[in-house]
Amino acid sequence: MPKRSRDDVEADINKIVKIFQSDARISFNDLAEKTGFSRQKIWRIIKSLEKNKTIWGYTTIIDHKKLGLKQYVIMLKRKHGALVGKQLEKLVNRSIKKQIGKLGVFIETSYYTNGEYDWISIASAESIFQMKKYAEFIIKQSGDILSDVKIVEILFPLEINNIENPKKEGIMDFFV
Query: What is the Cα 44 distance to its own chain's centre?
Result: 25
Residue 7 confidence class, pLDDT cut points 50, 70, 90: confident
User: CA 61 to CA 168: how far, in whole Å?
Assistant: 14
Report pLDDT digits (tens) over 36-72. 999 999 999 999 999 999 988 888 888 898 999 999 9
Give CATH for domain 64-160. Answer: 3.30.70.920
Mean pLDDT score of the chain: 85
- Asked if residue 96 has pLDDT above 80, the reply is no
Give the alpha-carbon dihedral of 66, 161, 104, 130, to 10 degrees: -90
Higher-confidence residue of 165 and 51: namely: 51
- Letter for the amino acid at 13? I
Q: What is the pTM of this model?
A: 0.76
How far apart are the C-alpha atoms of 122 and 124, rounded to whole Å?
7
Between CA 21 and CA 27, with CA 26 as vertex, the angle to 5 degrees is 140
Residue 164 φ/ψ, nearest 5 degrees: -75, 140
pLDDT of res. 83: 61
Correct CATH for 6-51 of 3.40.50.2020, 3.40.1190.20, 1.10.10.10, 3.90.550.10? 1.10.10.10
Any idea where the domains of the chain sit in the sequence? 6-51, 64-160
Would you say the C-alpha torsion 119, 122, 125, 128 has a positive or negative sign?
Answer: positive
Task: Look at phi and psi of residue 175 and say left if phi exceeds 0, alpha if psi is from -120 to 50, else beta.
Answer: alpha
Q: How far apart are the C-alpha atoms of 45 and 56, rounded to whole Å?
A: 14
Q: Where are the alpha helices (DSSP H) in the chain?
A: 6-22, 28-35, 39-51, 85-93, 97-102, 128-141
More confident of the two residues 81 and 20: 20
